[in-house]
Amino acid sequence: GTRLTRVTRELSPRDPDLAMAAVAAAVPDWRGGTRLGELLREFLNRWGQRGMARGAIVVLLSDGWERDDPALLGAQMRRLHALAHRVVWANPRKARPGYAPTAAGMAAALPSVDAFVEGHSMAALERLAAVVRGADTGAVPEAGAGR
Dist. CA 30–CA 116, nearest whole Å: 21
- For the chain, list the domains and their CATH numbers: 33-133 (3.40.50)
Per-residue pLDDT of 73-99, as tens digits, reads 999 999 999 999 999 998 888 889 999
Instruction: Name the more confident of 142 and 66.
Output: 66
| pTM exceeding 0.75 | no
Report the alpha-carbon distance of residue 73 to residue 37 in Å, rounded: 4
Q: DSSP of 34-72, one letter per residue? A: B-HHHHHHHHIIIIITTTSSTT-EEEEE----BSS-HHH
3-state secondary structure of 85: coil
pLDDT in tens, 15-60: 877 877 887 788 766 665 578 999 899 989 988 877 788 888 898 9
Among the listed residues 104, 28, 98, 29, the one whose alpha carbon sits nearest the alpha carbon of residue 63 = 104
**Listing from the earlier edge strand, what are the strands of the sheet with 86-91?**
57-61, 86-91, 115-118
List of residues 6+ apart from 98 with CB closer than 8 A: none
pLDDT at 2 (0 to 100): 60
Share of the chain above pLDDT 90, in %: 29
Residue pair 102/146 in contact by the 8 Å Cβ criterion: no
Cβ atoms within 10 Å, residue 99: 12
Alpha carbons 135 and 147: distance in angstroms, whole number:
16
Distance, in Å, from the CA atom of 113 to the CA atom of 31, rounded to the nearest integer, reads 23
> What confidence category does residue 144 fall into, taking pLDDT thresholds of 50, 70 and 90?
very low
